[in-house]
Amino acid sequence: MGEDIIKINGSLGEGGGQILRTALSLSAITKRPFEIYSIRVKRKVPGLSYQHLQAVNATAQICNAEVAGNQLRSTDLIFYPGQIQPGSYHLNIGTAGSVSLVLQTVFYPLSLQSKPSSVIITGGTHVNHSPCVDYLKLQWLFYLKHIGFHAEIQTVRAGFFPQGGGEIFVKIAPVGLLHPLNIEDRGRLIHVNGISMASNLDMSIAQRQQSQAAKRLSEHGIYHEISLEDAPAFGKGTMLLLLGKFEHSQCCYFSLGGIGKRAETVADEACKEFHYFLKTKGVVDEHLADQLIIPLALAWGTSSFVTPKVTQHLLTNIEIVKLFLPVTVDVSGVPDGEGTVTISRKA
């Protein structure tokens, strides 16, 4: 078995945890073992954090894997997958680590089974450097359903950094036929829906976020509706999210509040990213671009879409996917500029 193991340099490209999570998902699906070294060595605190460790242990649990190196701060890991078992799982990160990233790790292996599964994950639902749960519901699942995946995500309570304590409940249905995704042009902007959320804080903060976002969008003549949400949570936090609906696609951007961060700044950050997207020919936002690589690599046929930014995160994820699946991936454009991503998998 040692000769067939895939060896991965964890410091490849941006060198983040996505390398590990992608390898875990595809190892479980393909039943190909892997060894990863130099895990997150470029980070201030190298190695596995609680979030990454939970992703490892959760994937090992669902596919009965044999694992070596699954300890906190470990920079080396060996993973031998077994048979995937659909069922009901309860995963507790134990910190404000991202529930979204742990979910995305186990989602595809469970989706490809003949029976449904359910997953409860506790941790951070709205934390920096990861998609918030609202983004998963409104943007990630929207595109996954077009590809052929089906799931429901319920936020039991929100969890912000540093307290965490959030919880989501996810129902995962077996997939049928997976379809490629081809969107050459997003079409005209129809409208923008938004959420201005606050938890365990005066709702005037959410109202200020709402007003500032409305002001920025109105300056560009954009029709919008931004709702207020007082979300139950373990700790305090805020969020402003914008979902742009086009004729043929949609994009999503959000910003989170923080200690000493003005409500107007939260709104301005989300609006700035959204307005940047409008200046490009992007079809999906740059954050979703790298999240689409795995599902589209699992679908037979050729997929193509335009991203407003060719991120290092995207390029790194592509390289890991190609280690496990017989796909051809071409990316036009320059780093941090617009680009077209083409993914082809043939029988």
Q: Which residue has the tokens 């089974």?
A: 113
Q: Is 146 a catalytic residue?
A: no
First-residue to last-residue Cα distance in the chain: 26
Q: Residue 89 is inside which H or E element, if any?
A: strand 88-92
- Measure the CA–CA gap between 102 and 112, rounded to whole angstroms: 17
Strand ranges in 125-217 using DSSP code E only, listed in sequence order:
150-157, 166-173, 189-199
The residues facing 151 across adjacent strands are 172
Burial of 334 from C-beta contacts in 10 A (0-12 / 13-18 / 19+): exposed
**Would you call the peptide bond into 326 cis, given omega within 30 degrees of 0 as the criterion?**
no
Rounded CA-CA distance 153/141 in Å is: 9
Q: What is the Cα–Cα distance from 204 to 181, expressed in whole angstroms?
A: 41
How many Cβ atoms are within 10 Å of 4's Cβ, its own excluded? 8
Neighbours of 113 (CB within 10 A): 18
* Residues with a known catalytic role: 313
